């Protein structure tokens, strides 16, 4: 009888064992899962495995046929432009890749720019809740992570995406082109505090963890002033320190937008970032007072 085909992980484990470089007691620590952006695979290695990280990377590369590079997570995403904490372990050092998701094409440098595979459900949800004809501003566009899928799936929606990092912006321009969105998606290069269009949007996306009071004010200015709309604010929350943006927005409306009123807010968790720490999004629905 033929033996059943090995899964990629079984193959990887078997090759590590065969090569014999890793102490047997550490075999159980090999990661069974990995994330994938285009042809770049991302693994998280326990620090006890780090002395053999390049060899392990090579085994993952050989075991997962569709990948050309293996990176590992070595730190947290840092800086305003959100540089992810990755290093290349094996394979092609050129980490520019084409990622396909939800019927969209995303060109991205997986080593240097953020594309969270954990935000997949949020990308799907945004497609679902957007209605035809909406005007949307993405204040933290990156390569179009959240707003390109909306645009691809809603042929009458118009988007303006603001991005401060010239490298990310170059990919945003490319993604607008390869997804045939040129007529409906306007990329804007610059700081969203000064470059966000005002009085235009039905919906504003704020996919960023460290929002400033100025950016929240700009988001409310960006909404159609005679109607209001929905602002999606992101953030981090823990069970011990629950947080949402409701109070901040209420205060802002009171002080600077007296003609607006908060209709309702809904919070949902997007993903777990660390034990007990969650990435959330608040849907903040603002309407014009009668
Ligand atoms: C963490 S990425 C998030 C991408 C996407 N919004 C998402 O949620 O998946 C944040 C992006 O916002 C950009 N950014 C940060 N501060 C900005 C600012 N003041 N104006 C415009 N873009 C900014 C960064 O360069 C980065 O590309």
Query: pLDDT tens, 238-265?
Result: 888 888 899 999 999 999 999 999 999 9
Closest CA to 164 of 190, 131, 129, 185: 190
Nearest atom within ligand 1 for CA of residue 140:
12
- Mark whether 224 and 131 lie in a shared domain: yes
Pocket around ligand 1 at a 6 A CB cut-off: 80-82, 114, 116, 119, 140, 142, 145-146, 162-165, 168, 191-193, 207-208
Domain with 139, as residue range(s), is 115-288
- Tell me what pLDDT residue 30 has: 98
209 CA to middle of ligand 1, Å? 9
- Would strands 158-163 and 185-189 be described as parallel, antiparallel, or unpaired? parallel
Give the orientation angle of helix 53-63 with respect to helix 8-19, to 10 degrees: 140
Tokens 């396909």 sit on residue: 100
Strands, DSSP E only, in the chain?
35-37, 40-43, 69-73, 86-91, 96-101, 104-109, 135-138, 158-163, 185-189, 203-206, 228-238, 260-274, 277-288
Separation CA 50–CA 56 (nearest Å): 9
In a domain, 2, yes or no: no
- Mark whether 190 and 279 lie in a shared domain: yes
139 CA to middle of ligand 1, Å? 7
Strands, DSSP E only, in 110-220?
135-138, 158-163, 185-189, 203-206
Compute how many other C-beta atoms are within 10 angstroms of the C-beta atom of residue 206: 26
- Mark whether 72 and 172 lie in a shared domain: no
Domain containing 131 — which CATH number? 3.40.50.150
- Mark whether 135 and 84 lie in a shared domain: no
The number of distinct structural domains making up the chain is 2
- Mark whether 224 and 279 lie in a shared domain: yes
Residues 63, 66, 70, 72: is their CA dihedral positive or negative? negative
Nearest atom within ligand 1 for CA of residue 81:
25
Separation CA 190–CA 137 (nearest Å): 14
In a domain, 156, yes or no: yes
* pLDDT average per 10 residues of sequence, the chain (290 residues): 78 96 97 97 96 98 96 82 88 98 98 95 98 98 98 98 98 98 98 98 96 96 98 91 88 97 95 90 95
Mutate to test the pocket of ligand 1, among 37, 140, 217 (most ligand atoms within 8 A of CB): 140
């Amino acid at each position: 009888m033929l033996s059943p085909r090995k899964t990629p992980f079984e193959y990887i484990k078997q090759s590590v064992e065969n090569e014999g470089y890793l102490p047997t007691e550490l075999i159980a620590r090999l990661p069974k899962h990995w994330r994938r952006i285009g042809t770049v695979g991302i693994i998280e290695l326990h620090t006890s495995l780090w002395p053999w990280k390049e060899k392990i990377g090579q085994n993952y590369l050989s075991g997962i046929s569709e990948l050309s590079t293996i990176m590992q997570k070595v730190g947290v995403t840092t800086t305003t432009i959100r540089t992810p904490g990755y290093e290349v372990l094996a394979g092609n050092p050129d980490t520019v890749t084409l990622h396909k998701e939800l019927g969209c094409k995303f060109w991205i440098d997986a080593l240097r720019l953020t594309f969270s595979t954990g935000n997949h459900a949020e990308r799907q949800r945004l497609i679902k809740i957007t209605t035809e004809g909406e005007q949307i501003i993405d204040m933290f566009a990156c390569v179009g992570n959240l707003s390109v899928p909306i645009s691809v799936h809603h042929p009458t929606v118009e988007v303006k995406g603001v991005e401060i990092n010239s490298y990310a912006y170059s990919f945003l321009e490319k993604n607008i082109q390869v997804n045939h969105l040129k007529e409906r998606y306007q990329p804007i290069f610059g700081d969203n505090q000064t470059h966000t269009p005002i009085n235009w949007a039905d919906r504003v996306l704020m996919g960023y963890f460290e929002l400033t009071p100025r950016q929240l004010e700009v988001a409310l200015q960006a909404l159609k002033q005679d109607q209001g709309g929905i602002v999606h604010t992101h953030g981090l929350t823990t069970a011990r320190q629950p947080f949402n943006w409701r109070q901040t927005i209420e205060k802002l409306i009171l002080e600077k937008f007296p003609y607006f009123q908060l209709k309702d807010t809904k919070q949902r968790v997007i993903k777990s970032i660390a034990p007990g720490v969650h990435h959330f999004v608040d849907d903040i629905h603002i309407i014009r007072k009668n």
